[in-house]
Amino acid sequence: MTDTTKQPKIQVRDVTISYAGKAVLRNLSLDIHPNERLAIIGPANSGKTSLLRCLNRLNDLQYGFSVTGQILLDGRDIYAPNVDVAALRRRVGMVYAVPVPLPWSMYENIVFGLRVTGIRDKATLDERVETSLKSAVLWDEIKDRLHEPAHNLSGGQQQRLCLARVLALHPDVLILDEPCSGLDPISTGKIEDALAELAARHTIILVTNNTKQASRASDRIAFFLMGELVETGPTTQIFTKPNDPRTDDYITGRFG
C-alpha cells in the first residue's frame, strides 16, 4: 500500500532522456513511494523502458545515451560522480521481458550474485535460495531438483527463477519490464501473486502493456504517451475516472 507520509523512495526530477540527441522522455517528474506497486502504462515508444533502465543505470551502457535532471534514491542522486553503480544495481534489481537463466543449475543461478558480493557460507547461501524461491512462488515446484540445469524449467518457471535470482540480493526496489509478456495465464497469475506479497518488503515498478494486468497488480498508475507523463493516480481512479481524456482513450482501447 502506498505510504505518501514518508519521503519518496525514488524522486525523478525534471528528467529528459535522449539517445544520439533525440529525446525519448521529456521533463519527467515523478515520485515513487516506499512499498508501493507502481504500474507504468502507455503505447510503444513512450519512454517507459528507458526510464526503468535509468533507475539502475543500465542506460549507461547504451551508445549515445544522455540524461538531464535528477534521479534520487533515498534522497541521493544516483548519477552523482561517486556512486557505486554495481551496488546501485544490487539495490535496484531488474527482471526483463524474456527470462535469461544462466547456463548452470537452478541453485547456481541464484547464488551467483551472492558469491560475487562475497557471500560464501553454505548455510547462508542455502537460506537465501529457499527464501527467494518461496518469495517467487517457485520453491515447491523445484525444491527437489535444484541442481538440475535451469534450462529444464518451463518459460514461466524460468521467469520466476530470474525473479528469485534478483530477490536473493535483497534489493530495495524491484523493477520489471513486461515480465509476463510471453507467459501463460497461470504463470502470469503466479508472478502477480508474488508481487502482491513482495510489496510488503520492496518498492515495485512494473512496466506493462497489458492494462488488465496493470489494474490487478498495482496500487498506482503512471500513464506515459509520446515521451511525456500524462497523469498519475491511484489505480482505481485511473481506471474509473481519469483526469485526462487521453488516458481514458488508451485504457478503453481507442488507441495503443
pLDDT band per the 50, 70, 90 thresholds, residue 4: low
Report the alpha-carbon distance of residue 55 to residue 37 in Å, rounded: 15
pLDDT tens digit sequence for 128-187: 999 999 999 999 999 999 999 999 999 999 999 999 999 999 999 999 999 999 899 999
DSSP sequence for 188-211: HHHHHHHHHHHTTTSEEEEE-S-H
Q: Which positions ≥6 away from 46 have C-beta within 8 Å?
A: 25, 224, 225, 226, 227
Give the pLDDT confidence score for residue 5 in this predicted structure.
67
Do residues 207 and 178 make contact, with C-beta atoms less than 8 angstroms apart?
yes
Can you list the domains of the chain with their CATH numbers?
Answer: 10-251 (3.40.50.300)
pLDDT at residue 38 is higher than 90: yes
Question: Which of these ranges, 68-77, 98-107, 120-129, 180-189, has the smallest mean pLDDT?
Answer: 180-189
Which H or E run contains 73? strand 65-73
Q: Percent of the chain, pLDDT > 70?
A: 98
Give the pLDDT confidence score for residue 6 in this predicted structure.
76
pTM of the model: 0.93
Average pLDDT, the chain: 95
Q: Which positions ≥6 away from 200 have C-beta within 8 Å?
A: 35
How are strands ordered across the β-sheet holding 92-95? 92-95, 173-177, 203-207, 37-41, 220-225, 228-234
Give the pLDDT confidence score for residue 226 in this predicted structure.
95
Q: What is the mean pLDDT of residues 7-29?
A: 96
pLDDT tens digit sequence for 198-247: 999 999 999 999 999 999 999 999 999 999 999 999 999 999 999 999 99
Q: What is the mean pLDDT of residues 18-34?
A: 96
Phi, psi of 178 (to 5 degrees): 50, 55
Give the pLDDT confidence score for residue 182 in this predicted structure.
85
Q: Of the candidates 256, 237, 234, 236, which has an alpha carbon nearest to the alpha carbon of residue 246?
A: 256
Do residues 207 and 176 make contact, with C-beta atoms less than 8 angstroms apart?
yes
Do residues 50 and 101 make contact, with C-beta atoms less than 8 angstroms apart?
no
